[in-house]
Each structure stands twice: as C-alpha cells, then as structure tokens.
Structure 1
Amino acid sequence: MQYADYALWQHDVLGSEEDSDSAISRQLDYWRQQLDGIPGELDLPTDRPRPAVASYQGDVVSFTIPPHIHERLKGLARDSQSSMFMVIQAAVAALLTRHGAGHDIPIGTPIAGRTDDAVEELSGFFLNTLVLRTDTSANPTFQELLRRVRETDLDAYTHQDLPFERLVEHLNPTRSLAHHPLFQVMLTVRNAHISGEEQSLFQLPGLSVQLEPNEAPAARFDLSFFFDEPSGEMPSGIPGGVTFSTDLFDADTVRALTDRLLRILDMVTMRPDTPLNQLDILSTEQLQQLLVDGNGTARDIPSKSVIAQFEEQAGTTPDATALSCDGQDLTYAELDARANRLARLLAERGACAERFVAIALPRSLDLVASLLAVLKTGAAYLPIDPDFPADRITYMLGDADTVLALATEETAPRLRDAEGQQYVRTMLLDDAQTTHALQSASAEPLTTTDLHGPEPTPDSPAYIIYTSGSTGRAKGVVVPLRGLGNFLMAMQDRLALTANDHLLSVTTVSFDIAGLEIFLPLLTGAHVTLVQKCTVQEPEALRRLIVDTRATHLQATPSLWRELATAGALDPGRLHVLVGGEALPGTLATDLHDAGLSVTNLYGPTEATIWATAVELDSTTSAAPPIGQPVANTAVYVLDHALNPVAPGVTGELYIAGPQL
C-alpha cells in the first residue's frame, strides 16, 4: 500500500460532507458542538502587547521533570486509567487557569493519525491536530480535572479523522494575523525519546544521521509545551521544554511558568485531591517578595493628633501665612485663633467625640477654620457641597445623625425641606448673633473643661465622606483620626513639604482628596491657597494663578490635568504635579513630563484614607503608568478569587491593609 492508496481509502470511508449520514458529517457535527463558544484568544498576561501581525520568531526554555515526580506521574496515570499526556495536559490547564487564562482552556495537540494497523509502517504524513477543550470551572480537585480531561480526550480521539484545516474552514473563526485560530497553546508528549545511545537504531542507507537542535525555532503558537518520555520501566525523568513567541514573552517569564508547572506536578502527584485554587504555584521566595518585601513600610504612627500637630506648627511659625482665599490671608496664629473661637461655640452646642458636624460652606477662609474647629472639639466633620441634589443632602444628614451644621445665609436653604424646616440645627457663620459670639469667645486653646462628651481616641472618627456606592445610593465612609494622621505622615515622607512650599487647593471639600490639600500644608508650615471653582474651570486663569503665586504643588484628577495640557496651560517651573482619582493615561504622563513637570501618581479608595500607594514617575513611563508602592504602614496585595497571591503580571483584585482603613 502507498500513501496515495490510503488517502483514497480514507476519502471513501469518510464520505461526502453533503451526505448528512456520512462519517465526516458526523465528525463535523461533533466538533461544531464541542468547540461552540470557544475563546477566540487565550487571555494570558504577556510581557508585550500582541502585535497586529505575528513574526513567528521564537525561543526555547528547556527543563526536566525530575525522576521522583516522573515516578509519581506514572502512578497517577495508572491509578486514574489515564495516559501521561492526559495528566500533563490537566497540569498545564491548571497552570494556565491560575495564570489568568480563565476556565475554558483550549489546547492543541498533534495526533499520529495512524488509526489502522495497515498504515503503521507506511511512509507519509498522517499527522493531524486536535483541539482539546479543558474545563477548569467550579474549582475542581486535580483528580476531578483529570477525569474531565480523560473523558474529553477519549471522545476527541474517536473523532480524529477530520483534518484540522477542514475544521477551521467550517467553523470559520475570526481570522487574525496575530495568533493561531482556535488555540494558542500546543502540547506534545512523545513517548519514545531517541537518546544518544539509541541514535544508531535510526539509520538510512548511505547517509550519516545525527539529531541537531533547531537554533532558531519558529513559534507558530504563543506557547508550545513538549515532553519526551523515555522508554523503559524505570522513571528517569522527562526532558521537556517550551517554545514561545518572542513577540509576547521574555525567556525569564517562560522559565517562571515552567517552574510553576513543576510545582503543580509535584503537588498533584502527592495530593491529587487538592482543589485548583489551593495549588501553591509560587515559591517561598516569591511569596516573601510579594507579601513581605514589597510591603516593608512599617513606621511609628504619629503619637500626636492631627489637630495637635497643627497647633504645634502654629506655635512654631505664628506669623507665617497659612491660608489664602480670594485675596485674603490668615497667618498660622490667626487661623488657629479663629478655629479656637469657633470650636468653643460648637462644643457648647453639642459637638464632641463620636458625633458629626455638617459643614455646608462656600470655599473661604471660614471653611478651613471650620474643619479645624470641628476637630478641636473631638467631633468629626461631614463636608457637604451646597451644589449637591437636595435628596442627597437630606440622606447624608440623616444617615450620619449629624448633631449640628455650619452654613451661611446663602447655603442654609440647602439644609431645609420644602416647607423651610431645618433638617438639623444650623449655625450661620455670617449671622450677626454668631459673629458677635465669635468675637466674644476666647482665642486660647481649648482645655478638657471646654469639651463635652467622651475624650476622642485614635479610633474616633475624623470625618465622613459619602461616595456614590455600588448600589447607586450614597455610602458613608468614616475615616478615623489614626488613619488621617498616618496618611498625612506618609505623604510628608513622600513630598517633604517645607515653609517654602505653596500648595493650591482646587478640590471640593466633599471629595476626600481635599484632605491632603488642606491639612498637609498646615502641619508642615507651608502655605495653602483655596482656589475658587470658576478659576479651576478656566485653564488660563488657573495657569496665571500658578505663576503668580509661585505654587509648588497642585493636586488634581487626570481630567483637569488634560484640560490644562490641551489649553497649553502647563508652564515649566517648580510645580510638582500630584495626580489621582482616575486612571492616569500614559500619554498624559508623557505630556506632563515634556512640560518639565515632576509627576507623582497616586491611588487609593476613600475607604483607605485618600491615597494608599504613590510613585514619582520618570520619563520612561509606560502606556499604563504604575500606581506605585504602598505608603507608610500600608500593605497591598493582588489576590485571586480564593485570596491567593497571584503571580507577577497576572490579573487579580487589589487588597489594602493598614491603619488607614
């Protein structure tokens, strides 16, 4: 028999695709059903974005499954009535799932195609490719996963006659020059390895035959795992390797993959009943680096409260300008005295530790003095933007159980219902009676006899901020005094503000990041200027203010920085850009650097007290600028759904720990 005879015979056996009862039609139906909804592209983390057109350039990382694991693999395969290929396939699928590829893992494999004994010795290309779809969902044990793999593979072997090219034609997946259709990971397990001693068995008349490695292998797939299991009863180890696309991966990344595969094989052959999410794919050294070394931020939390630090600074630099707004200035001594007078009135009206005082004031000197005054009483403040919708303000006042509100004649109506009734007892700072009371009050620091209620502790609330909430209803986040104090210390570690610095505050006080803009300068002897909303909304006016005030620091969201950049309002100078609240686009980071500005990227949810991570970016910032390292006494972890640390580069969920929560 010649190969041509076999091809004609196979054509007759398979029949015509027009015949719905033919073997080839039945196989087509099987594969259509089996591959329905298959992922178009396996979502693995890569070192580089996938190019539009694959170069097919590749490299190889070699490794060996050691003899003791080889021995256990043979035992596991025997006990589960599986092949060595099936066991390794299950391990590769588990590895890819734990690397963020999802729970639907299509793996390609070559199959000999010699299904008839008559063609066993026949020369010719019988090889075909099968797509083996591995289901890793519902966190199976490795035993259960192996059972799924065995069932899928045995079924596929009985439908192996359909040529892969015909399968692709019929399924017609979305074509791409960037990756292979239907699968991007190949697995080959050859169970006959030609060793050096066995090369003499492979002879051709008149020719000298020698095995030579391919020095520059082509990479048709993203990853191609291959193993050569030696013949013989004694397990001697299984040589293997991974051919990988250098378009996507570095050798070190693939080497880390092979190390993790060996760890999985070691674990599952000892404890095959281990669920996939309990497989320890990271080494002890990697866990140390991710969990401990990367979170080495321990520092003593300030023993003095935020308000005590401000009062100390006011005593150190009483005549220095502390606060400016609309052309008016207050020195540290004047600001402290104004806050002391107001604090006395607030304490007399019930402000104390564990209670909330609402502040609904326009941007003014009194706004900052009121924040300080509330903290001096031991109470916490609830900032309310007068522009908030009425129902949101009503909800916030009731939910926080506010004891008192500060407002002006202009903003007070926002704290009343439709009948003009106040939701909460309100003190009008521009009312004649209040003005007289403030003038009569002592400007001396408050003592314990001036305070009412319990004494504040580090765990007492400093403020409450209402966020939009995942349900659409505003959610109150209470930040403790300890968290605010730690945060301000952490940011001072990063920014090192001095009496020579001038920070422009552009953020509404109802947004938690305003806490950095107001409090950090006042604790360090620096100067803070409140900028009105109308100026913030006019890029050229804001640019002029930056230049005229010789501002050194400005914190804003990427949206505002983009407006300034688009308007050409980024003058080079000594301005330090603080950016956060939204993801920072790489193009914007580049534009800020090109304008001669230093840039610190900040990240943190409201629940973590403003910012939890920070990094000063350099000119080599990538398309996705990093969010940086955790601030002092803060730890960050990237974990999967089972709370396992994920490998570097793998997508997970960010968890934050520390006193700022």
Structure 2
Amino acid sequence: MVLETAHGPAADPRIHRQGSAVEIDLPRALVDRADALARERGATRFMVLLAAAQTVLARWTGQTDICVGTPVAGRGRLELEPLVGFFVNTVVLRTDLSGRPAFHTLVDRVRDVVLGAFDHQEVPFEQVVGRLRPKRDLSRNPLFQAMVDVQESSATGIGLPGLETADVALPWGSAKFDLTATFVVRPDRFALNVEYAADLFDPDTATRFAHHVGRVLEALLADPTARADEAALLSADERRHLVADAGRDAEPAPPFEVAGPPHAPAVVCEGTTLDYARLDALTGGLAAALIRAGTAPGDAVGVCVDRGVWSVAAMLAVWRAGGVYVPLDPRLPGERLRYMGEEAAVRHLVCDAGTRDRAAALGAVAVDVGDVLPDPDGPRHAPRRDDLAYVIFTSGSTGRPKAVGIEHHALDAHVATAREAFGLTARDRVLTFASTSFDASLEQILPALSTGATVLVRPDDIWAPEELAARVAAERVTVMELTPSYWTELVARLDVLAPRLASLRLLVTGGEALPADPLERWFAHLPGVPVVNTYGPTEAVISATAHTVTSAPAGRVPIGRPLGSRRAHVVDPLGEPVPPGVPGELVLGGPELARGYLGRPALTAERFVPDPFGTPGGRLYRTGDVVRRLPGGELKFLGRNDDQVKIRGFRVEPGEAEAVLRAHPGVSGAAVVVRTLNGETALVGYAAGGGLSQESLRTHCRARLPHYLVPSAFVLLDALPLTVQGKLDTAALPEPAAPAPHAGVAPRTPAETVVAQIWCEVLDLPKVGVHDDFFALGGHSLRAVAVASRLRTAFDCPFQVRDLFEHPTVERLAAEVERRLLELISQMSDDEIDLSLTADL
C-alpha cells in the first residue's frame, strides 16, 4: 500500500532524499500511563506508542489501512546473543483502523499485528518485497513510507570507566523514509524525534506532526475507552484560528440589474446583435407576455429555446415577470425533460420555432418568442431577497436528477463577487460557452451584463478549437470560461492558434480538476493571460472558491480560497476542523448557499447541516469533496468520499445511470461503475438478463439520459458477481472488451486511411473499419472536437464537430472529406492549383 502523507509536492524519483529532523519533549508521566495500559491489555510500551502514532497517520492521510515499518534486532536465537555483528531487519506492521475503534481496542489490534510480525522477523525485508512484488516507485520505499521506533535507555548517558563523556549532535542531512517517528525514553526525559524527507515536508509540518502525536497520546491515555479518531489534533487556539480564517464577511450585494448604455452591444450571436436598449425592450415584451399567459410571482417558468440571443433575453424576462428561471435543454431526452418540468413545477414555458414541438409535449402553457413584441415599459418585478431565482438540476443517485433551488440574494452576491474577481468592465467582451442547463452559464452572462460588457453566445454547434480561436479573434473576446477537458484540446493546438487568441486577457476554468501539465504550454504561448481555476458545486452557487494561476505550477493546481462571504471548512468525519495538510471533507457555509433540493426535505437536511462554527441559524453544505488546506490557506482538491465523479466537466452520479439501466425490461440485475477507458474517466454499465445486446442497452439509456450519463461501454453477464455478504463485488466485474471493428473492411482510399488513422489516435484503438461508428467505438463530443481539429490540419479544409455527428463512420466521413476537397479545388484557379502542388516540394 501507499501511505499518502505528502503535504508538499510529490516526491521526484530524481531527487536525492535530503532530510532533517525535529524533536519535541513530551510529559514524562505519559510513559508510566502507557506502561499501565500496556499491562492492562497484555501489550508492551512499544505497542501503545505505535497505536498512537498510527492513529495520527490515519488522521493525516484519511486512510484506515496503515502500514509502517519498524526495526528489529534480529537476535531472537540464543546462539546469536554473544556474536558481534549487524543482524537488524525491518518488519512491516499493518494495522486496520476501520470501524472507529476505542483506543484500548486499537491497542489490542496493534498487539496482534506486532506479535504476528515478530514471529516472522527473521524473514529478510528484501525477501518479503520480492514475494509480494509491489508496484515499484523510485520515489517511495516499498510496502511502507513511515517508520515508528522506540529508543529506550536505562541511564542518562553513556559512561566508560575513567572517561568523561558527553552527547554530540551530528548534522542530519538525509532521510531514509518519508517520516520516521522515534520515541526517546530515558529516566529523566520522554521525547519524540521526527526525521522527515525535506522534499515532502518542511520543519513546521514535521513539528506539527510530533505535537499531534503527543496530543493524541495524552488524550487517549487519559481515557483509553474513547474512540481513537475522537482525540483532538488541534489545540483550542489552533481551532479558533482555523475557524476564523475559513472565510470573510462581505457587505450584502445589491440586487442584480442589467446596466449598460442603451446603444452599447449587450448580446451577440451568429451575426445577431442586441444593444442594451433592444435587450431591455425584448425582455420587457416577453415578461408582459408571460404575465398575460398567467405567470404569477414565484411561478417556475421553463426556458426551452435554442442557443442564441433569446436564451439570454428569456432568462431576464422570467425574472422581470416575477418567475423562477428553469433552463430546459431541448436536446435532452423527452422523458427527462418531462420529469424536470414536473419536479420544478413548471407551469409556463418559453419556446421558439425550433423547440415548439418539444414544448408542446411538456404540458405547460407555452409562450413563443416569435410572437413577442418589444416593450421597453414592460413589467419589472422586484423580488424579495429570499425568493427563488432559478432551479438547476444535478445528477441524483436515486436515478432521477435533483432540483436545486437558488434564492435571489445568493445569486446577487455571486454576481457581484464574480464581477470583482474577474475584473469585468464595460470594455470586456465575454464568451458564454457553457450549456444553459448548467449554472456556469449564469456566471458567464450575468456579471458581464451587470457591468455593461458584451456577452457573446456560442450557438448550439460545438466548436472545434480552430473555430473557437477564429471566433475569439473575430469578436475580440477578452474573457472566456472553458471546462479543463475542452481547454486541453485548445492548448494542444496553441502553436498554431495562439495568435488568434491575442485579444484574451483572462481565461476561467471550472467544472472539473484543472491539469497542471498543459499550463506550461499555455503560458509559453500566452504569458500575459492568467488562468482562474474555479471550484464549486451547484448547491454553493456556481463557483465557491477560486485560484489565479500566472505561471506553470509544480504539482496539482489548488482550487484556492472561498469567494465572497462563503466560508470553507475542512472537517473530519465527526465534523471537527482538521489541521492544515490533513485531508478532510470540504464543507461550505455563508449566505451563498442553495435553499435546498426542491421536494426532498430529507436529502436537504442530510446535505445542508447546522453551522457549528458560525452564528446561530447558519448552515453548512457538505460537498462530499475531499481536500486539504495548504500552509498558505489555499485548498487542494484530492477526490470524493462517495461515488460521484466528474466526466468531461459534468457532475455524474453513477447510481442515476444504474437505475435507468435496471429499468430495461430485459435486465434482471445491473450495475454502473467508474472505469478508466482509453485514459479517460468513463461509466461502464454491467447488465444481466435474457435477450440483451449492447446496442439495445445503449438505445434504452440514450432515450432517457443526457449524453454524459450514458455508459461508454456495456458488459453483458450471466449474473452480477456478489460477495459472501450478498453485496455487489465490484472488484470481480470484468473490464469491458475493446469494441471490435467490422472485419474485412479496411480503409480503401487515401481519405479513408487518414480518417481511420485519426480515429485510432483519438480513440486509442489499434485499427478501425470503414463501417465502424465513431460513437459506438467510445467516441463522445470532446473526442469529436479532437477529430475535427485533426481533420482540419490533415486536409487544410474546414470541418466542424457536427460533421462527425452527421457522418459517423469512416466511409461516410472520408466521402465528405473528398467532396469538400473537390469543391475547394473546383473553386481554385490553375495557378493556385499549381502553387498548392509545388508548395511542399
């Protein structure tokens, strides 16, 4: 196993293990208490001290399976006692701290572990490693990374007849392991020495670890019946300091309002421009139409329109009519849209010519934007602070998405915070790239409109990186927000595209972890464009924390500090703050929290809990995200404490896809788990039943789930594997087999050959056939972006992502390539053709 104790950058195998040590004194009386507990439990002093050290290691790592090493003398045989020589060996002590044991119970566990290890202490450590064959890493010691030892002496010093002796401290320049905790026991002194690897820890961190061991040891020896994980790591002063530094208070924000000069451009999409006066008139006209249709303050109003200027205007009009904005993506399956409308209690719906039929099927009173007449004097409802502003749906583990309700005061506060954090002014031109179904779109629209900037709306088509760069250049975009997955595709083409991004002054990313490696390439090409890494669940109103990156970082990119009046606490499973560097769950407080999950009071009470750190009546949202606080106060994301994942920037609960898969009429048992396929995080569906096929399962899921929740692969089983307790044995679920290309239909033309090579590169497949379907082979929208970009480079011909959706096989896409090339050639003069033929000679 790997003990994840590193508080700094990951160990580099090229680094020589530089080290140092710190030492603190502990109360001498603790030795007597440890001895008393050891006698009571039939253990030794070493076992008690080891239990305390492993307790702290478990708290520091967030793990319950703790392996440490300890040296043994290797003189267990009587005939070895008089021999001079070095017989020391190392044994591994692996202790299970799960189940929240009382300390005396943990001592019992440690006793059994130590006795079992000492029974086999003659087995050389190297032989153990050789038999277990762990995955080797030059930056880590195999099997354990921390050592615990006890050095005891019955005298105060070393004396020889006729000589005066004194201790001399030798320089300490190396570390054998990540951490070595050595308890020093002498008649007049009890101390803890911590040797540490300097590339992983600093002196303050090592000293903090030593104090935590001492504090835990003292607390648990005072009450051995207490649970080991309840012993406080922090002093009262340290706890107060962490609570005080969790965030700051900000003045209440004014209500959001659109603020721009009448004739300044407000919203732009595909050649259509609305100035602020026209935007005001259209929103006023639509608001009046909604009220005539029966919309009353507090009513949920669905907005189901194609992307464009109306997707912005409709949102503003809903608020002017006093309604609650509920975005409904017309590309979602009809069954899901119906459920969302019912869950949010949508009574009225805004549609357009392209979505009129979808809207009619939802059963709400529809208002078509094509029938709206501009009305600058239209209604301007003034909402109360605690009125609902919008409802956004997130993935739910029960098989149905959850409706998250956000109040106006929380939205107003975030708009003001984002406007300040991004430094927006009326001179900015901000690209809104996110789907309106996600709250990130609000962050890309509202702060800009509140300062008089111009919002540029991406149409429904997904742009390849080349198209994005062209639009940025043509529209002089200054600020844009992208998911890290899409941004990575853009970064890969910066050697060609960077000049077209010259107008940018700020890039914002969010929705998933930001990889560090592409940042080096980003700043090499665009050194003057900082990257703001944002983090935030929908329940904490879009972006809850942010970190600005101005140069390539070493290691994982932090998610930063809380924005606005939010407070970010890192807590243990008992809800107590953990020290800096120790992993814990991130809980968010402050006024910028959702009201809760509509119609789900029990789930709301489970996730939104009373705030024990703030004023009475305050709440905290339990994010389920595991983070650690860095020494400077910023947060670093580590992972999840449940099954929720981010896939291509989308928040996904595998249980939602599993519930839909289980509802297939031929399925008797189903499971959906997270796997890594072709280097990407993906969902894999497992199904047992009769008469099933992968295609029937995929069709069933596509009709009921958004694209990001449809499993990337399906595995058919006779029965789901179960443990002896009758639970799903996820470890026994087989890996999905790579999709088999159609046999005997290899590429036949140069165009098919190039297209097939590109597909193999993007999908990480050895070969594909000309009749293979890109999406059946594991393709998705982001991979389609990569294919479109490579096709543009290979053929010097414009390709869009939609081309792959319309021509999803190698044969059909290659035919489209040939058609476009012939069309381009037909438009060229003889001189241009001659020039193109000789350009590479």
Q: TM-score range, shorter-chain basis?
A: 0.7 to 0.9
* Structure-2 change in CA distance of 1:286 and 1:386 (3 Å): same
Aligned residue in 2 for 1:186? 147
Is residue 489 of structure 1 aligned with residue 416 of structure 2? yes
Q: Please identify, of 465-474 and 102-111, the stretch whose mean Cα deviation from structure 2 is larger.
A: 465-474
Q: For residues 353 and 305 of structure 1, what CA distance do their matches in structure 2 show?
A: 17
TM-score relative to the length of structure 2: 0.65
Aligned residue in 1 for 2:101? 140
* Structure-2 change in CA distance of 1:186 and 1:101 (3 Å): farther
Cα deviation for residue 65 of structure 1 reads 1.7
Is residue 351 of structure 1 aligned with residue 282 of structure 2? no
Aligned residue in 1 for 2:534? 602
Aligned residue in 1 for 2:510? 580
1:92 to 40, 44, 53: 53
Cα deviation for residue 140 of structure 1 reads 0.9
* Structure-2 change in CA distance of 1:160 and 1:380 (3 Å): same
Aligned residue in 2 for 1:506? 433
Q: For residues 518 and 658 of structure 1, what CA distance do their matches in structure 2 show?
A: 23
Aligned residue in 1 for 2:379? 446
Give the 3-state SS of the residue equivalent to 1:403 in structure 2: strand
Q: For residues 491 and 119 of structure 2, what CA distance do their matches in structure 1 show?
A: 63
* Structure-2 change in CA distance of 1:238 and 1:456 (3 Å): same
Is residue 410 of structure 1 aligned with residue 338 of structure 2? no
On the 8 A contact 1:506/1:533 being kept in 2, the answer is no
Aligned residue in 2 for 1:32? none
Cα deviation for residue 212 of structure 1 reads 4.1
Is residue 49 of structure 1 aligned with residue 10 of structure 2? yes
On the 8 A contact 1:45/1:650 being kept in 2, the answer is no
Q: For residues 201 and 294 of structure 1, what CA distance do their matches in structure 2 show?
A: 60
Q: For residues 135 and 201 of structure 1, what CA distance do their matches in structure 2 show?
A: 48
On the 8 A contact 2:175/2:195 being kept in 1, the answer is yes
Aligned residue in 2 for 1:17? none
Larger radius of gyration: 1
Cα deviation for residue 96 of structure 1 reads 0.5
Q: For residues 242 and 475 of structure 1, what CA distance do their matches in structure 2 show?
A: 48
Any residues of structure 2 matched to 1:223-302 within 5 Å, and which?
Answer: 223-231=179-187, 236-296=188-248, 298-302=249-253
* Structure-2 change in CA distance of 1:320 and 1:201 (3 Å): farther
- Amino acid in structure 1 at the alignment position of 2:210: T
Describe the superposition over 1:556-599 as per-residue Cα deviations: whole angstroms up to 9, x where unpaired.
21233233333332333453111112221112333333313122
Aligned residue in 2 for 1:569? 497
Cα deviation for residue 59 of structure 1 reads 2.0
- Amino acid in structure 1 at the alignment position of 2:490: L
Q: Please identify, of 644-653 and 332-341, the stretch whose mean Cα deviation from structure 2 is larger.
A: 644-653
Q: For residues 328 and 172 of structure 1, what CA distance do their matches in structure 2 show?
A: 64
On the 8 A contact 2:283/2:316 being kept in 1, the answer is yes
Give the 3-state SS of the residue equivalent to 1:137 in structure 2: coil
- Amino acid in structure 2 at the alignment position of 1:152: V
Q: For residues 588 and 220 of structure 2, what CA distance do their matches in structure 1 show?
A: 32
Describe the superposition over 1:233-262 as per-residue Cα deviations: whole angstroms up to 9, x where unpaired.
xxx331331222334333322122111111
Describe the superposition over 1:194-247 as per-residue Cα deviations: whole angstroms up to 9, x where unpaired.
534x423698xxxx976544423553322222233114xxxx331331222334
- Amino acid in structure 2 at the alignment position of 1:249: F
2:486 to 557, 560, 564: 560
- Amino acid in structure 2 at the alignment position of 1:486: A
Give the 3-state SS of the residue equivalent to 2:186 in structure 1: coil
Cα deviation for residue 157 of structure 1 reads 4.1
Aligned residue in 2 for 1:35? none
* Structure-2 change in CA distance of 1:269 and 1:320 (3 Å): same
Q: For residues 261 and 641 of structure 1, what CA distance do their matches in structure 2 show?
A: 19
* Structure-2 change in CA distance of 1:546 and 1:165 (3 Å): closer
Cα deviation for residue 402 of structure 1 reads 0.9
- Amino acid in structure 2 at the alignment position of 1:274: A
1:646 to 568, 575, 578: 578
Q: For residues 302 and 94 of structure 2, what CA distance do their matches in structure 1 show?
A: 59
Aligned residue in 2 for 1:539? 465
Cα deviation for residue 74 of structure 1 reads 4.0
Cα deviation for residue 660 of structure 1 reads 2.3
Describe the superposition over 1:117-175 as per-residue Cα deviations: whole angstroms up to 9, x where unpaired.
67655544444433332221111111211122233334444554445455445555555
* Structure-2 change in CA distance of 1:634 and 1:219 (3 Å): same
Q: Please identify, of 496-505 and 166-175, the stretch whose mean Cα deviation from structure 2 is larger.
A: 166-175
Q: For residues 152 and 508 of structure 1, what CA distance do their matches in structure 2 show?
A: 54
Aligned residue in 1 for 2:639? none
Tell me, which stretches of 5 or more residues in structure 1 are unaligned?
Answer: 1-38, 449-454
Q: For residues 507 and 558 of structure 1, what CA distance do their matches in structure 2 show?
A: 12
Is residue 221 of structure 1 aligned with residue 205 of structure 2? no
Q: For residues 137 and 83 of structure 1, what CA distance do their matches in structure 2 show?
A: 22
Give the 3-state SS of the residue equivalent to 1:524 in structure 2: coil
Any residues of structure 2 matched to 1:326-341 within 5 Å, and which?
Answer: 326-341=270-285
Any residues of structure 2 matched to 1:388-427 within 5 Å, and which?
Answer: 388-417=332-361, 423-427=363-367
Give the 3-state SS of the residue equivalent to 1:295 in structure 2: coil
Q: For residues 216 and 461 of structure 1, what CA distance do their matches in structure 2 show?
A: 62
* Structure-2 change in CA distance of 1:488 and 1:126 (3 Å): same
Cα deviation for residue 374 of structure 1 reads 0.6
Aligned residue in 1 for 2:64? 103
Q: Percent of counterpart pairs with the same letter?
A: 33
Aligned residue in 2 for 1:200? 160
Is residue 622 of structure 1 aligned with residue 549 of structure 2? no
Describe the superposition over 1:306-328 as per-residue Cα deviations: whole angstroms up to 9, x where unpaired.
2xx23xx36xx333332223333
Q: For residues 504 and 174 of structure 1, what CA distance do their matches in structure 2 show?
A: 46
Is residue 480 of structure 1 aligned with residue 407 of structure 2? yes
Root mean square deviation, CA, Å: 2.8
- Amino acid in structure 2 at the alignment position of 1:483: A
Aligned residue in 2 for 1:550? 476
Q: Please identify, of 478-487 and 493-502, the stretch whose mean Cα deviation from structure 2 is larger.
A: 493-502
Q: For residues 175 and 324 of structure 1, what CA distance do their matches in structure 2 show?
A: 55
Q: For residues 221 and 435 of structure 2, what CA distance do their matches in structure 1 show?
A: 59
On the 8 A contact 1:406/1:426 being kept in 2, the answer is yes
Count residues in correspondence. 587
* Structure-2 change in CA distance of 1:253 and 1:319 (3 Å): same
Q: For residues 364 and 175 of structure 1, what CA distance do their matches in structure 2 show?
A: 54
On the 8 A contact 1:593/1:599 being kept in 2, the answer is no
Aligned residue in 1 for 2:389? 462
Q: For residues 490 and 80 of structure 2, what CA distance do their matches in structure 1 show?
A: 74
1:429 to 360, 369, 377: 369
Asked which structure has the greater RCO (Cα within 8 Å, sep 6+), the reply is 1
